[in-house]
Amino acid sequence: MDSDFNLPRGRVPGTNEAYYIPDFVTQDEEAYLIRRIIEAPRHKWKQLANRRLQTWGGEMTTNNILIPSDMPAWLNQCPDIIARLRKTGAFASSTHGAPNHVILNEYLSGQGIMPHQDGPAYHPVVGTISLGSPAVFHYYEYKQHDPPSADSGMAPVDITASGRTINPVPVLSVLLEPRSLIITTSSLYSHHLHGIEPIDSDVFSSSMPGRAVGQGSTGHHKIANIDLLQGLKEQEVARRGGVLNRRTRYSLTCRDVEKVANTKFLGKR
């Protein structure tokens, strides 16, 4: 696929800081990418408590400098995902104009990622490509005030390592279809958190059309990109209610690390 992607057309209603592009990769490319991901050498996998990941483009030092290494051909040649991301224009103001670092997360059904921020090492734009499964993705904000008292009856709130409290009701929710790209920019990147609930199916309300049923007592969350969805099943379920089962999902988190070590002098060539 080599069409030009029109970023403004993908703007997610309700924000100026997120863009959703369905079918960013084709079905054939998706199948090929998943095969290459699964076939990656064992040492490329890093096992975390609740998911596995691979890192491509290099390793980060503790002071946020990238020690670069070559991207695999399946990211920058065939298909040339990096060039395709450059063409969206989303990285136009970043140091390298395109991502130089990709984290590949694998989520089995029932796995997710806690609300978190991506940190200051990266230019504040992230392109996330979803493969293999749909999933509802939430953006959260920090609470302005102290945590509610124990008897407030509210849903439990998460407290980050920095001691700040997260409002468990998302500020924005999107349904990420397989093969889609979501781009998160600006303060949605730098001041908000994002996460995916660890569930084996995303449930959509039939009494409140266009809303996903949240976990606990967080309520029903409007799917902000509903008019941008491309899959017939996804459109139908998101609009009328129903269930989208989570299959194994792979996501490519593509970012530009601003500071890159000059490896020419490290005896590389």
Ligand X SMILES: O=C(O)CCC(=O)C(=O)O
55 is a contact residue toward Fe ion (CB under 5 A):
no
Name the one range near Fe ion by CB under 5 A: 4-12, 85-93, 112-120, 201-209.
112-120
Q: Which of 262, 260, 230, 254 is nearest to 80 (CA)?
A: 254
How big is the CA angle at 187 (ends 184 and 188), to the nearest 5 degrees?
40
d(CA 100, CA 127): 12
d(CA 37, CA 249): 11
Lay out the site mask for ligand X across 167-206 (x = CB under 6 A, - = otherwise): ---------------------------x------------
> Closest distance between ligand X and the C-beta of residue 10, in Å?
16
Q: Which of 67, 53, 18, 44 is nearest to 257 (CA)?
A: 67
When CB distances are held under 5 to 8 angstroms depending on the partner's kind, the choice from Fe ion, ligand X, none that residue 128 binds is ligand X
258 is a contact residue toward ligand X (CB under 6 A):
no
Cα end-to-end distance, the chain, whole Å: 35
Residue from 15, 76, 128, 133 touching ligand X (CB under 6 A): that is 128
Report whether the peptide linkage leading into residue 209 is cis, meaning its omega lies within 30 degrees of zero: no
Give the three-state DSSP class for 7. coil
Residue from 80, 118, 141, 158 touching Fe ion (CB under 5 A): that is 118
Sheet holding 18-21, edge to edge: 18-21, 181-185, 125-131, 249-255, 101-107, 52-56, 46-47
- The site that binds Fe ion (CB under 5 A) totals a number of residues, namely 1
Q: Which is nearer to Fe ion, 183 or 237 (CB)?
A: 183
Q: Which is nearer to Fe ion, 127 or 168 (CB)?
A: 127
Lay out the site mask for ligand X across 71-110 (x = CB under 6 A, - = otherwise): --------------------------------x-x-----
Token pair of 198 as six digits: 């660890």
Residue from 111, 173, 185, 253 touching ligand X (CB under 6 A): that is 253
Give the footprint of Fe ion on this chain (CB under 5 A): 118
Give the footprint of ligand X on this chain (CB under 6 A): 103, 105, 113, 118, 128, 137, 194, 251, 253
